[in-house]
Structure formats: C-alpha cells, structure tokens
Amino acid sequence: MHSGFLHLALNMLSLYFLGSFVEASFGRGRFLALYLLSGLSGGIAYLYFGGFASPAVGASGAIFGLLGGVLGDALRRGTFSWQNPVIRQLLILLAINLYLGLSIPNVSNTAHLGGLAGGLVFGYLVAPTVYSRKVARALSPVLIVLAVETILLGLWLFVGVRL
C-alpha cells in the first residue's frame, strides 16, 4: 500500500536502482533477507515510537535498509570512507532523503531510520565476505526465529491497540 502514485513511483525507482546494486553485491538470498528484515525493523521502530495514530504505508523502511546494508558491509570491510565514491554517493542520498523526510508532513522517519538501522546491522553481520557463509549459516536460524517472534509481537501489538 502506498499513499499515492508519486510515493509508489519513487519507491519503485529507488528499489530498481539501489536494489539492483545490492542484489549484485550481496546475492539474491542475502538481498531478500536484507529487504525483508529491514522492512520489519522499520515497522517495529514505527510501532515502538508511537506510530499507532496513523497507518504506515510504502516500502521506504526496507529501501533505507538496503542503503544501510551497503554501509554496514563497507564498515565491516574497512572501506567506509568519504573517499569511496559509492559510500559518498549513498551518504549524500541518505542526507537528502532524511532532509525530505523531515520537511514533508506525515512521513514516518522512525520507519526510515528503523529500516536503516536494521540494514546496517544486517550488512555488517551478514555481508558477503570470506567468512560470511559460516556466519550466515550460524545466524540464519536465529534471524528466522527473531523474525517470526517480531511478526507475532507486531500482530499482538496491532490487535491489542484495536481492542
């Protein structure tokens, strides 16, 4: 669900360009996990910080998470530097989007930042490095359990608010 055509178009354009880059860098499986967990962490942040008053729409939290995943990967690899052109462009893009989020009414910055934080952690922990297969295998069951628990918690909170 999106708030309008422009919202949908911007999310899809961002997903196309950033998503293509992240999928090529991380692989399909990690890309999908990063996208879903970032969307989930954005939703949790939205709910945790009082987002019950209005509905959250769109995929922006997950898209911010893709950006966070690349930044987390760069932190782990030691390539996080303003001198790195990819990192520089992503940081500028992040700054512009955060500014727009603060300037436009009814934008859920908590969902954006929650998705970014989730992506940053995921990118740092499960980045495609030499040891990442071992780490990913070890973390996969943990991440699945956490995702299921988080979904159940979110449903409980949502139903609890509705009652």
What was the pLDDT predicted at 163?
Answer: 39
Distance between CA atoms of residues 12 and 19, nearest Å:
9
Catalytic annotation, residues? 60, 112
pLDDT tens by residue, the chain, 163 residues: 445 677 777 888 888 888 888 998 888 889 999 999 999 999 888 888 876 666 676 788 999 999 999 999 999 888 888 998 888 888 988 888 888 888 777 777 888 999 999 999 999 988 665 445 665 566 566 656 656 665 665 565 555 544 3
In the prediction, which pLDDT does 72 show?
Answer: 94
pLDDT of residue 134: 61
CA 120 to mean position of chain CA atoms: 8
Domains of the chain, earliest start first: 5-162 (1.20.1540)
Say how far apart CA 26 and CA 31 lie, in whole Å: 6
